[in-house]
Structure 1
Amino acid sequence: MIEDYFNLALKNLKKRGVRSWLTLLGILIGVAAVVSLVSLGGGLKAAVDSQFNIGSTEVLTVQAGGMNNYGPPGSGASNPLTKEDAGEIGKLSTVEVSIPRNIRNVKLEFNKKVSFTYAGSIPDNQREMDYVYDFVGLETISGKLLESGDRGVIVIGSNLADMDKNGLDKNIKVGDNVAISGKTFRVQGITKKMGSIIMDSTVLMTENDMEDLLDYGNEVDLIVVKAVSKDLINQTAEDINKLMRDRRDVKKGQEDFDVSTPQAMLESVNQIISGIQIFIIIIASISIAVGAIGITNTMTTSVLERRKEIGIMKAIGARNEHIFYLFFIEAGLLGMIGGIIGVLLGTAVGYAGTSALNTFLGVATHPEISFWLILLTMTGSFLIGAVSGLIPALNAAKENPVEGIRG
């Protein structure tokens, strides 16, 4: 019996052709937006996670505020951090190690071409070098990382080595000489792809080489701090805040510096992403609501057009509930078909968007499309359609057979 209802409903939808397609368009667009957004959201959050390079939960970063340009973190601050700040932070009982780092814009010349990128300093002390490599998760695919005592050599990110991404029309290999801000360096290593725009396009050199090259003196762009224990991460942050307020003579709430953990930054960005998701879902819900109104309108029109058909069915024995179920299921199918096409379209958009994200950011993410998301979306689409057709179905069930046959 149920199968007969569905077969009749499908036949009626096919008869209305273009009208049926136009009716389910609102549901289709809304569902596609929701599915693509949910799938893209998962991929985007994974990409953001990779950009922060979270490899250790004990790591904090300290950087000066009041930036007056659009350079790397901490650069161009009106009141920059100093090496002495890093030294004092390192003396705190909750801190295992405090490493000053600088990240600056530099000009790279190779193959008679010019590219602008970042240069990051690596401590000359081997112990601190190893800490940085561990924090960031640095490994090479060719050559080797910098070691204590190295001079005149650099390690470059995978994107800088790739002619398709470095803008230099030629691959850079280990052993090649490149000019960094006018000074020649030999490439000693190329790092593995990390999925970070910054790290995959950065030149790494020792602190001494970078200071000689850029002459930034005692300034520090960023201080990387490792807490004694991840359980003390909040206490460590508080200790650093207190120390830096005293050193910079500022009151609580008026800090001109920032102490943060990668997790805190990630949570902040994810909150923004979630907010965007909620906003777009609201817009998509409006589209679904418009689609639901369209289904109600179409089914009401269908009831008026098929009064004679309803009258004949009742005259040959169809009961009110039979008529009701026929129109109710027909409305539900309108919603479900829109939902199915919306899921397919949303999935395609999700994969296409994630692929573009992977290409742009150099990460390896995939859309998060679960069985439950598909099931919930399709069930919801059917219910939205069915509820939208509830009143027209009730009106059809109440139709007087004699008046219906008369037309």
Structure 2
Amino acid sequence: MAVVSLVSIGQGLESSISSELEELGGRNVFISSGGGIGGRFSDTTFELTENDIQAIDRVPEIENSIGTISGSVAADYRRETEYISVTGVPTGQKADLVREISGLEIKEGRYIRQADESAVIVETDLAEDAFEEELFLRSKIDIDQDYSIVGTYTVSGGFQGINGFVMPIDQARKVLDKENEYDLIIAQTQDGVRPEEAADEIREALRNERDVEEGSEDFQVRTAEDILRSFRNQLNIVRGVLLGIGSISLLVGGIGIMNTMYTAVTERTREIGVMKAIGATQRQILALFMIESGIVGMIGGIAGATVGIGISYIAGILIEQSVSIPFSPYVSVELVVGSVGFSFIIGVISGVLPARKASKKEPVEALRFE
């Protein structure tokens, strides 16, 4: 149960994230200051500026780029104060580019305009959960001044740098007190250009712009594949820990099978004596009890795999609702057959000692056993 549910959920999550990144991040390159997308994990004082965007736009492999800023601010809504995430994005001529690169899709209302001075759009899930009372179109939220919600949106994927309340970047600079810097630059490659190749050219361009040597960069350039690789590494760590816990359950189960088989040997001592009396060899009796022990493990494996599949699909529904991306666990025939076969092996191994005890009984003593 532990192995099937954990592995199927892990593979399903990896597959879902991979497909989202391939769909929306296939041509995107992400540039941030120091470490971490969007500057969220940056421990450096260096900033991305308009000069960096111009340097990136001069790279032949790059078609377009946008810069965004983000941060957390206190907001008031109907006498309730909460800290919310705010993202500032370019508007006007680059509005369509922002939506294309980020995968932002308007669900209700409209997108923000360059002339908007007090308008925001809000992520659909956040509109329901940010405050006790749900946010609607034309709701007023106080962030230093009153802002009106003109639309709700969703973002496909989850690594695109757009989240929370989105407003024109000029307004966001006032709210977040960020005059000239950018937290994240997203560059879109030319058709047919591999993002990894473009990323190398961007690194070279920014090193020249910032006058830093290779290995001493104060910026980070990542592609969707880099993000996916990092995600896989983290997922493998979590998966390893969980499988370690699952291994403990297998050890406990193996001990349980061993105890069951010791009891079976004791209860069938007279049968063992009869078998030996009519010519059964030690090897035959050893094989008999080991196979029986393996079958006990296999039956447990079948039951566990069935329950594990059910758990993985229930977990899949909860994960899909939590992260707002299509998700389904990956349950392969190889996984189920391998788990059941492994359970059989665990059973056989657990039955070795009881089987040896049964095979070494003397026929006369076994027949006298009551």
Range of TM-score over shorter length? 0.7 to 0.9
- Rate the CA distance shift 1:73–1:65 in 2: closer, same or farther, 3 A: same
- Mapped partners of 2:83, 2:47: distance in 1: 23
Q: What SS does structure 1 have at the residue aligned with 2:200?
A: helix
Q: What 5-or-longer segments of structure 2 have no aligned partner?
A: none
Q: What 5-or-longer segments of structure 1 have no aligned partner?
A: 1-31
Deviations 1:223-281 (A, max 9, x none): 11111235342232122212222232322111111011122111111122123323433
8 Å contact 1:174–1:188 — kept in the other structure? yes
Deviations 1:6-50 (A, max 9, x none): xxxxxxxxxxxxxxxxxxxxxxxxxx2212211221344356558
Give TM-score, length-normalised by structure 2.
0.85
Match of residue 56, structure 1, among 17, 25, 28:
25
- Mapped partners of 1:114, 1:198: distance in 2: 27
- Mapped partners of 1:404, 1:210: distance in 2: 87
How much does 1:394 deviate?
Answer: 5.4
- Mapped partners of 1:300, 1:307: distance in 2: 11
Higher RCO, Cα 8 Å, sep 6+: 1
- Rate the CA distance shift 1:264–1:351 in 2: closer, same or farther, 3 A: same
Q: Is residue 2:311 matched to residue 1:388?
A: no
Kindly report the root-mean-square deviation, in angstroms, between the aligned alpha carbons of the 2 structures.
Answer: 3.2
Aligned match of 1:14: none
Aligned match of 2:236: 274
8 Å contact 1:71–1:104 — kept in the other structure? no
Aligned match of 1:170: 133
Q: Is residue 2:176 matched to residue 1:211?
A: no
* One-letter identity of the residue aligned with 2:322: F
Aligned match of 1:365: 327
Q: Is residue 2:185 matched to residue 1:223?
A: yes
Aligned match of 2:119: 153
8 Å contact 1:64–1:258 — kept in the other structure? yes
8 Å contact 1:121–1:205 — kept in the other structure? yes
- Mapped partners of 1:230, 1:276: distance in 2: 36
- Rate the CA distance shift 1:319–1:104 in 2: closer, same or farther, 3 A: same
Q: Which moved more, 1:112-121 or 1:208-217?
A: 208-217
Aligned match of 2:89: 122
Match of residue 59, structure 2, among 92, 117, 135:
92
Aligned match of 1:36: 5
- Mapped partners of 2:38, 2:185: distance in 1: 16
Q: What SS does structure 2 have at the residue aligned with 1:155?
A: strand
Number of residues of Structure 1 aligned to a counterpart in Structure 2: 368
For residues 185-196 of structure 1, the aligned pairs below 5 Å read 185-192=147-154, 194=156, 196=158
- Mapped partners of 1:196, 1:235: distance in 2: 23
How much does 1:66 deviate?
Answer: 6.5
* One-letter identity of the residue aligned with 1:80: E
- Mapped partners of 1:387, 1:256: distance in 2: 55
Deviations 1:106-145 (A, max 9, x none): 233222222221211221232x221110112111221122
Give TM-score, length-normalised by structure 1.
0.78
